Amino acid sequence: MTSPHTLTQTSRQRSFGGWQDVYQHHSDVLACDMNFAVYLPPQAEAQSCPVVYWLSGLTCTEQNFITKAGAQQYAAQHGLIIVAPDTSPRGCKLPGEDDSYDFGSSAGFYLNATQEPWAQHYRMYDYVVTELPGAIAANFPIRETHQGIMGHSMGGYGALMIALRNPGRFKSVSAFAPIVAPPQVPWGKKAFSNYLGSTLSDWLAYDPTHLVKTAPERLPILIDQGDADSFLKEQLQPELFAAACQAVNHPLTLRMQPGYDHSYYFIASFMGDHLAHHAATLVP
């Protein structure tokens, strides 16, 4: 069987002096082939560089970020490698996998499913935390001690959750319009009940608002949220995470951006700020 570290390049474009690549590899963790994108800044031709992982939201693949976020110009300025995986396993042919936009395909929620038929394939937590970084370290000039993580919506939730569950692993974290309390909102309830079952403790293990209360590391968090986001009140509720951070004095910068919605227009507007936030810690 092909190693997860064996990559096949499927596209390459020159961008801001660097290269925007897309690769395919076989994932043993997910038991399927997966695509991911890597932006290599011009600095990577001569030296190892810090790496930032981007996690996308519902309905997305790696393509949404690399074509709409405008991240390449800022990554080139700061000398950051950016890795953007897909949002779920693909082609597993599970019953109900493609029935809705907020569960199954494109909606892996960056957790390890325990319920059938999802448990064999839907293990995005292990993929993002272990398998994909192993493939990146084996193939690209990254500085393994200088890693950041960020994301949008479901991916913003994933970035916060993964950073909080892995103290010392990441030096920077940020999110755009994250789902901060999945057990309390419809998107999270649907995904968690189907992937994880009905045990509340299993849900809380992936809940950023719960995890931050006992986080052993005070990693500063940057969140941008549009106040015209149609999902703000029902699905996102950033005030819940802000209150949890305040209760334990966890450093959080939550910026409510007037007039912005949930789209990539919003993400592109503040991408420069977010990559500057990461570079401030990651770049020597």
- For residue 260, the domain's CATH number is 3.40.50.1820
Residue 160 lies in a domain: yes
Q: What is the structure's pLDDT at 221?
A: 98
Residue 66 lies in a domain: yes
Query: Mind listing the pLDDT tens digit of every residue in the chain (284 residues)?
Result: 578 889 999 999 999 999 999 999 999 999 999 999 999 999 999 999 999 999 999 999 999 999 999 999 999 999 999 999 999 999 999 999 999 999 999 999 999 999 999 999 999 999 999 999 999 999 999 999 999 999 999 999 999 999 999 999 999 999 999 999 999 999 999 999 999 999 999 999 999 999 999 999 999 999 999 999 999 999 999 999 999 999 999 999 999 999 999 999 999 999 999 999 999 999 98
Residue 21 lies in a domain: yes
Q: What is the structure's pLDDT at 4?
A: 80
CB atoms within 10 A of CB 59: 14
- Residue 46: which domain range? 7-283
Partners of 52 in beta bridges: 82, 148
Please compute, for residue 163, the number of CA atoms within 13 A of its CA located in the half-sphere on the CB side: 31
Residue 200 lies in a domain: yes
Q: What is the structure's pLDDT at 1?
A: 57
Compute CA 166 distance to the chain's CA centroid, rounded to the nearest angstrom.
Answer: 14
Q: What is the structure's pLDDT at 3?
A: 81
In the block, tokens 């009940």 appear at 193
Nearest to 191, CA basis, from 115, 126, 262 = 115
Active site amino acids: 153, 229, 262
Residue 1 lies in a domain: no
Residue 120 lies in a domain: yes
Residue 2 lies in a domain: no
Please check whether residue 2 is in contact with residue 25, taking contact to mean a CB–CB distance below 8 angstroms.
yes
H-helix or E-strand containing 280? helix 264-282
How many domains, in total, are found in the chain? Answer: 1
